[in-house]
Amino acid sequence: MRIKDVENKAFFAQFIARLFVHNVFKDSQIFLPKGDYERRHGDFPRYFSGWYLFVPSDDLAEGEIVHKKLNGLDLVAYRNKEGRPVVHSNRCTHMDGMFAPLGSVKDGRIQCAYHGYTFEDGKPRSGPAEFRNDPSKCIPCHPVTEVNGLIFFWFDAKSEDGVGVPTWELDLPDVSDFPRRATMRSITPTHMAPLHENIIDDQHFMILHGSQRYKSDLLPYQHKHRFRTRNRMIFALPDRMKKFFRLEEDPVTEMDSDFHGLGIHITKANIAGFEAVMIHCTTPIEDEVTEWTLTMYMDRRQWSLIPSYRDFISQIHPWGTFAQVYYLHTQDRRAFFERAPYRFYEDVPKGFEKVNAFRRWIQVELLGEERPMGKNCIPTKYTPLNVLQDDAAE
C-alpha cells in the first residue's frame, strides 16, 4: 500500500470518528486534534469577543445539563424555572467541585454532586446563610439569547472568566417563513478566522472545488461588527441533467453573506428559485479547534407532474447541501486547515484583494487596531447607520 493511501484512509477514519462522536454525544471532546497554536498563528488572538452558539434549543431540555468546553472555558448550560437558558462555569464556588457530569437540575436549580449545593441563575440557594449571602460565592453568568431555535452566549475576550456586557445586540433574520429546519455539526482543526475566509476566496472555489465560476462582491455594512458580501457560484451540470430539467445553461447559486463578528455567519441562498437561510456558527473549543454548526431553514418541498430543477433542489435539501458542505470541507481540511499557518498580519498577493479586506475588517473593526492599506487591498465598505438615515432624509 502506498503512503498516500495510508494518509487518505487515516484522514477519513479520523473524520468519520469525530463526526459520529460529536453528533451522537454532542458535548464530547473525544478525538480532538492537537495543534501548535504559536507556530501556526503567531500573535493572532485565540479568542474574540462576540456572540457564540452554545447548543441548539432542542438539545437543552428542562432538567438537563449540557457540558461543553468553549472559548477555552469549561461551561455548563441548563434551563431555569422560567425555561430560559443559563450558561456559566462548570465549577461550584463552594469548593470548586464540578457540576458536570454528575450534577443535576431540579426546579430550575443546578446542584453540585460533590456536596449538594444548589444554584439558581448563578446565585447560591442552599448551604449556610453565610455562604448564601456572600456575593463572592455567586457564579458569573454569560448573557444569553435564544432565537431561531439556537442558544447563543456572549463571550468577553478581555474578561478573565469570559463574562461581560455585550457591546452589540444579536440581530438574526426572521426565519418564520421557512417551515423546514435541519442542523449538522462538525469539529474543524483550525482557527475560525481562516475558516470564514473561504466564502470570499474566489480562486479557491474554482481551483480546489471545481466550480465553473465563483465571484464575491463586498457590500456596504452599517455596523462595525458586521461584514457583508454577495456571492455567485456556478457548478456545471451534466448535459443529460440539463436536458431532463429543460435548462439552457447551468443554474446560478446566489448567496448573500452577513458576518456577525467571527462567531456567526448568515447566508441567504437562492438556488434556481429555491430559497434557504443558513446560519453557520463557529465556536472555538480551545486554541485552533473550532466547533462548526450549520443550521438550515428551507422552503417546503415542491411536487409537480413535470419536475423542475427547483423541485429537485427542494427534494434533496438539506441533505444535498450538507453532503456538499462536508465534501468541500474535507477538501479544505486536507489542503489547508491541518497543515498551514495563518499569516494574518501579512497581506496576500495580487488577486486576493477581498481576503485582505476581510483581514483588515477583523483587525480594524473587531480588534480596534490600525492596519495600513496595502497595495493589494481594497477598502471595506463601512457606512454608519446614521449617515444612511441622514441621506434618506435629504
- Mean pLDDT value across residues 155-159: 96
Cell numbers given for 132: 448564601
CB 55 within 8 A of CB 32: no
pLDDT of 5 over the 50 cut: no
* Residue 13 confidence (pLDDT): 65
* Residue 166 confidence (pLDDT): 97
The residue to which cell 481594497 is assigned: 378
In CATH, what is the architecture of 32-49+170-394? Answer: 2-Layer Sandwich (3.30)
Pairwise pLDDT comparison (92 vs 203), residue with the higher score: 92
**Tens digit of each residue's pLDDT (9 = 90 or more) over 92-142:** 999 999 999 889 999 999 999 999 999 999 999 999 999 999 999 999 999
* Residue 19 confidence (pLDDT): 66
Fold of 50-155: Rieske Iron-sulfur Protein (2.102.10)
pLDDT of 253 over the 50 cut: yes
* Residue 61 confidence (pLDDT): 92
CB 315 within 8 A of CB 301: yes
* Residue 7 confidence (pLDDT): 47
The full set of domain ranges for the chain reads 32-49+170-394, 50-155
* Residue 326 confidence (pLDDT): 75
pLDDT of 146 over the 50 cut: yes
pLDDT bin (cut points 50, 70, 90) of residue 6 is: very low
pTM: 0.88
* Residue 23 confidence (pLDDT): 64
CB 76 within 8 A of CB 88: yes
- Mean pLDDT value across residues 369-379: 85
Q: Do domains 32-49+170-394 and 50-155 have the same CATH topology?
A: no
* Residue 15 confidence (pLDDT): 64
- Mean pLDDT value across residues 329-347: 76
Give the DSSP H or E segment for 111.
strand 109-111
Pairwise pLDDT comparison (168 vs 384), residue with the higher score: 168
Q: What mean pLDDT is reported for the chain?
A: 85
Rounded CA-CA distance 122/151 in Å is 18
pLDDT of 52 over the 80 cut: yes
pLDDT bin (cut points 50, 70, 90) of residue 302 is: confident
pLDDT bin (cut points 50, 70, 90) of residue 30 is: low
- Mean pLDDT value across residues 30-42: 68
* Residue 393 confidence (pLDDT): 43
pLDDT of 26 over the 60 cut: no
Pairwise pLDDT comparison (348 vs 124), residue with the higher score: 124
Q: Worst-scoring range by mean pLDDT, 92-96, 229-233, 328-332?
A: 328-332
Spatial strand order in the sheet of 73-79 = 66-70, 73-79, 85-89
Cell numbers given for 306: 413535470
* Residue 21 confidence (pLDDT): 66
DSSP string, 203-267: HHHHHTS--SEEEEEEE-BSSTTEEEEEEEEE-PPPHHHHHHTT-SSPPEEEEEEEEETTTEEEE
Residues above pLDDT 70, as percent of the chain: 88
Angle between helices 309-316 and 319-332 (to 10 degrees): 70
pLDDT of 232 over the 80 cut: yes
pLDDT bin (cut points 50, 70, 90) of residue 3 is: very low
* Residue 324 confidence (pLDDT): 75
Rounded CA-CA distance 293/310 in Å is 26
